[in-house]
A and B are shown apart, each in its own frame.
Chain A
Amino acid sequence: MTDLFSKFDPLIEQRRALLAGGVEDPFNLVMERVISPTVAVCNGRETILLGTYNYMGMTFDPDVIAAGKQAFDDFGSGTTGSRVLNGTYAGHRACEEALKEFYGMDHAMVFSTGYQANLGIISTIAGKGDYIVLDIDSHASIWDGCKMGDAEVVPFKHNDIVAMEKRLKRIPEGAGKLVILEGVYSMLGDIAPLKEMIRVAKENGAMVLVDEAHSMGFIGPNGRGVAEDQGCLEDVDFVIGTFSKSVGTVGGFCVSNHPKFEILRLVCRPYVFTASLPPSVMHTATTSIRKLMHGKAKRDKLWESSRVLHKGLRDLGFQLGTPEAQSAIIAVIMPDLERGAAMWEALLHEGLYVNLARPPATPAGMTLLRCSLCAEHTADQVQTIIGMFERAGKAIGII
């Protein structure tokens, strides 16, 4: 018998070697108690959280919590059904209404996760004979959506407008074209030149889908994302987003002005063949989305923290993923996985949690310590974090 697990042997060995060095397992951390959006007790230590996607700090917002509790009492713990059968409650509709208002778009469709939103929309709208042209650094959910559908998949070099244009021009006459971009790329925290890219995509007759998972609530005058910030949101055909980041719960969505958009509810399998989100999640999401519409003060504070942390780490001599702060993600580039894991552990012992990211999630085989800020981080916490990085970086020999 061939052991189907033998394909995982190299990874099992790499993990064994890493942990044999005595490092705490970076992929097995437990949050025992969560004190606030920025502080938790992890593996027995009080820890500053700098590796969550809780950008706007909505997880402990009193209005959000109250809405969830009320929904438990009024609607029960779950829907036990698909959106197209018994799983659409008043809360699901209310949430879609809130999204339409938030983005100023005609249609909104809520999925059970952000992953499923990409999986469902991409695999459904790009079919046999159509072409998907996408950035090579796209998120796994985008790649999986491509793999699940029947379209021809054509990647281009990250943020390379000329490479994208060349590929679009080579697509056979008459074929359907979908260009897929992200506002913020989550590994390095860099943004896309959406305005130029979308202009080129439109000139070449493509529809455009933009994943704004890491920008919602934070980037753009109304928190609608990078496309809004660059003044090209009206040219985006489909915006994909998530509730598991700034919104502070779980779920995914697509908003669009396409006149035939509603038909997707009947043909999109990851929407149809799964249970809808619990009412409590819908009511917390709706309340949070509506509050994010008026989140300018929080957005300003988050930008300030992001810039201060970026400058602080850069001045210490760390190599960062972007020349300046472009989002709430600041990626610190590690020389290799071993020293990355050692640095991660040293930071944890200092009382700081960041994300350790490594291939295949990262571009160019990089090992990264990804810091993601929250609007609730205080200026004092940001200074404390910089001090922790300095001590850990010197102890491990990275700076």
Chain B
Amino acid sequence: MDRAATAEKIAELIEPFNKKGVAVTEATTFAGDLEWDSLTVMDFVAAIEDDFDIIISMNQQAEIETYGQLIDAVTKLQG
């Protein structure tokens, strides 16, 4: 799946987690802008992992702060 298709899929998956209806751009941060706690992060990561059939380890998650970085990481992880 290329970056555009990946981005489209992630946009779908983030919907139920974006409870405050924040307008999401590539620069949106999960902790800051979306104000997600660790539990929400875990559930969201699990949803992404299950949909794309990938692992995003804690080590990789530490490098992902923005929505754009997540799309890049998932695009890459699909190999």
- Which residues of A approach B to under 8 Å, CB–CB? 131, 136, 146, 152-157, 163, 166-167, 170-171, 360, 363-365
- Chain A residue numbers with a CB within 8 Å of B43 are 157
Q: Are A154 and B42 in contact (CB under 8 A)?
A: no
- The residue on B at minimum CB distance from A143 is B58
Q: Are A170 and B39 in contact (CB under 8 A)?
A: no
Q: Are A170 and B46 in contact (CB under 8 A)?
A: no
Q: Are B42 and A155 in contact (CB under 8 A)?
A: yes
Most buried by A among B43, B55, B59: B55
Which of B38, B50, B57 is close to A166, meaning CB atoms less than 8 Å apart? B50
- Residues A136 and B42 in contact in the complex (CB < 8 Å), given A153-B59, A154-B58: yes
Q: Are A167 and B59 in contact (CB under 8 A)?
A: no
- Residues A157 and B55 in contact in the complex (CB < 8 Å), given A364-B39, A365-B37, A365-B39: no
Q: Are B49 and A146 in contact (CB under 8 A)?
A: no
Contacts of B9-63 to chain A: CB distance below 8 A:
37-39, 42-43, 46, 49-50, 53-55, 57-60
Expressed in whole angstroms, the Cα–Cα distance for A157 and B58 within the complex equals 14
Q: Are A157 and B46 in contact (CB under 8 A)?
A: yes
B15 → chain A closest CB, angstroms: 20
13 contacts between A and B (CB under 8 A): A131-B55, A131-B57, A136-B42, A153-B58, A154-B55, A157-B43, A166-B49, A166-B50, A167-B55, A170-B53, A170-B55, A364-B39, A365-B37
Expressed in whole angstroms, the Cα–Cα distance for A360 and B37 within the complex equals 11
Expressed in whole angstroms, the Cα–Cα distance for A166 and B53 within the complex equals 9
Q: Are A146 and B55 in contact (CB under 8 A)?
A: no
- Chain A residue numbers with a CB within 8 Å of B60 are 152
Expressed in whole angstroms, the Cα–Cα distance for A156 and B37 within the complex equals 16
- Chain B residue numbers with a CB within 8 Å of A163 are 46
- Chain A residue numbers with a CB within 8 Å of B49 are 166-167, 170
Expressed in whole angstroms, the Cα–Cα distance for A154 and B54 within the complex equals 11
Expressed in whole angstroms, the Cα–Cα distance for A277 and B54 within the complex equals 44
Expressed in whole angstroms, the Cα–Cα distance for A171 and B55 within the complex equals 7
A41 → chain B closest CB, angstroms: 39
Expressed in whole angstroms, the Cα–Cα distance for A364 and B49 within the complex equals 21
- Chain B residue numbers with a CB within 8 Å of A146 are 58
Most buried by A among B46, B50, B60: B46
- The residue on B at minimum CB distance from A163 is B46
- Chain B residue numbers with a CB within 8 Å of A167 are 49, 55
Q: Are B46 and A154 in contact (CB under 8 A)?
A: no
- Residues A155 and B37 in contact in the complex (CB < 8 Å), given A163-B46, A166-B50: no
Given contacts A163-B46, A171-B55, 15 further A-B contacts (CB under 8 A): A131-B57, A152-B55, A152-B60, A153-B58, A154-B57, A155-B42, A155-B58, A156-B46, A157-B43, A166-B50, A167-B49, A170-B55, A363-B39, A364-B39, A365-B37
- Chain B residue numbers with a CB within 8 Å of A170 are 49, 53-55
A338 → chain B closest CB, angstroms: 19
10 nearest interchain CB pairs?
Answer: A152-B57, A153-B58, A170-B55, A154-B57, A153-B57, A154-B55, A152-B59, A136-B42, A364-B39, A153-B59
